[in-house]
Structure 1
Amino acid sequence: MALFSPIITDFWQTFFQGEILYQNEYFTCFINPALKEDEQIMMLTMGTGQILVTMTPALAGQIQLAPQQNVTEQWFRQTLQERGIVLHGADYLYYFSEDDKRILLQENEQESVRQLTKEDKALFTEFESTASEQDLDDAYVELDHWLVFGSLAQNRLVCAASMYPWRGSLMADTGILTLASFRGQGHARKVVRAISRCALRKGYEPQYRCQVDNEPSIALAKVSGFTLFGKWEVLSPDSVIS
């Protein structure tokens, strides 16, 4: 059985398919003329170590890969740098494996965790007022998102997560925020698993993204039962495209 749902693998395959510009045993580069302007190149380093790259024909011409080259990740990144092409946004992508989804769906609901609605506006506003601006910006948790769950303690909302369908797909992107004084108490794990369970029952695949240097978020992904799918990088606005 496949590790991840076909919904996930099929989504990413829409970017990494078509004419193969270069391929060796661990590195494959595709040409995709349908890529958006701000995503003229994408790099996906799979959890297995395999590297997939997709780029527009114009960018491929700027990089000038040759079939006879022995391309390594180090060489490729250095070549991008030399040609003024910068990758940024390096995010880890996490999803539930098929086995872990079955475990999640069999779990009982937690009494302290529930779905939030527009009727919880006052509760959510108080929650936001207690969090720092930086935490709010980083988490991107909104009450008007497609799905919102929270954990309550001491008659207040102390942790909240929200999801929205990502890029028009069946992947539900997750944001999570716990008030500083309530961290380390298991609230985030319970909320993430509860909202993920609800998303799965609605036919969506929970997606957890975080920057590669965000150790607390990486730890939360792991303890919540997610499996690393890969590291995703896209074109930086600082790039020089000829």
Structure 2
Amino acid sequence: MPLFSQTITDFWESQFLNGDIIYNDKTFTVTINHDLSEDSRVMVLETADGRVMAVLTSEMAEKLDLFRGQELSELNFHQKLNEGGVTLHGADYLFYFSEAEKNALLQENQEGTLRQLTEQDDAIFSAFESSASEQDLDDAYVELDHWAVFGSFEQNRLVCAASMYPWGEDVQIADLGVLTLSAYRGKGHARKVVRSICKYAYEQGYEPQYRCQLDNEASRFLAKAAGLTLFGKWDVISPDCTIRESK
């Protein structure tokens, strides 16, 4: 059985292998894709098995003097990015459920202190937000008006919430964020909420996706505790980087 679903593998292959492959070896691939958006005109993916794939627009390839037939390595590629003034935003870890963990998740029953939230929970959710720091709110990006929202309660108080939204128009992947109020962390609320909202996503035909920054140890621990498996590290061009013309 494949480790991850075909939805996931097909999506990432379409992002990084769709176009003109100008370099390919056992561990490193560079592709030129004319259809990349401005925000994703340079992207790098390192999968958990050590494979590295890079994709960029033809304009960016020309600026960085990248062309078919030249010998490349991951180090060479990053040197060319640096020389061309291209900075990356900062990688995210990507986590998904393996096929085996997905099957186990779908057999679970939702626990009593958990439920899906709706617009009728506006007052409850507002109180939850007011108890969290601005930094936590920004990092988690949990919103009541997202596609799906689940919460965990303690003594009728919302103490942990997760929300999801479809990650793109043409892909059945739903990206999730989760936030637990600081006084209630370490009690298993986040793990239960993540598993519940992910089960809901599967039932709606979506593949749940969990992302976090590389230095967020607590979030990485939560992903693994919830049964998710590391797929890889994904990075994109920084929106405010400066691009120097190639010589």
User: TM-score scaled by structure 1?
Assistant: 0.96
> 1: CA distance between counterparts of 2:70 and 2:148?
48
Partner secondary structure for residue 87 of structure 1: coil
Alignment correspondent of 1:32: 33
- The number of residues matched between the two structures is 242
> 2: CA distance between counterparts of 1:71 and 1:213?
29
Alignment correspondent of 1:142: 143
> 1: CA distance between counterparts of 2:113 and 2:161?
12
Q: Is residue 2:241 matched to residue 1:238? A: yes
What is the Cα deviation at residue 196 of structure 1?
A: 0.4
Moved more, 66-75 or 226-235: 66-75
Alignment correspondent of 2:164: 163
Alignment correspondent of 1:10: 10
Percent pairwise identity: 56
* Residues 200/60 of structure 1: CA separation in 2 closer, same or farther (3 Å cut): same
Moved more, 10-19 or 139-148: 10-19
> 2: CA distance between counterparts of 1:239 and 1:2?
41
Partner secondary structure for residue 236 of structure 2: strand
Letter aligned with residue 224 of structure 1: A
Question: What is the 5 A alignment of 1:75-90?
Answer: 75-90=76-91
What is the Cα deviation at residue 65 of structure 1?
A: 3.2
Alignment correspondent of 2:54: 53
What is the Cα deviation at residue 60 of structure 1?
A: 1.1
**Can you give the 5+ residue segments of structure 2 that lack an aligned partner in the other structure?**
none
Residue-by-residue CA offset, 1:37-77 (whole Å, 9 max, x unaligned):
12111100011110011111111122223556543322221
Q: Is residue 2:193 matched to residue 1:178? A: no
**Can you give the 5+ residue segments of structure 1 that lack an aligned partner in the other structure?**
none
Alignment correspondent of 2:197: 195
Residue-by-residue CA offset, 1:147-205 (whole Å, 9 max, x unaligned):
00000002200000000001222111001000000001100000000000011011100
Q: CA RMSD in A?
A: 1.3
Partner secondary structure for residue 88 of structure 1: coil
Letter aligned with residue 151 of structure 2: G
Tell me if the contact between 1:59 and 1:241 (Cα under 8 Å) persists in the aligned partners.
no
Tell me if the contact between 2:35 and 2:57 (Cα under 8 Å) persists in the aligned partners.
yes
Alignment correspondent of 2:227: 225
> 2: CA distance between counterparts of 1:148 and 1:134?
20
What is the Cα deviation at residue 4 of structure 1?
A: 1.1
User: TM-score scaled by structure 2?
Assistant: 0.94
> 1: CA distance between counterparts of 2:67 and 2:11?
28
* Residues 101/122 of structure 1: CA separation in 2 closer, same or farther (3 Å cut): same
Partner secondary structure for residue 91 of structure 2: strand
What is the Cα deviation at residue 210 of structure 1?
A: 0.5
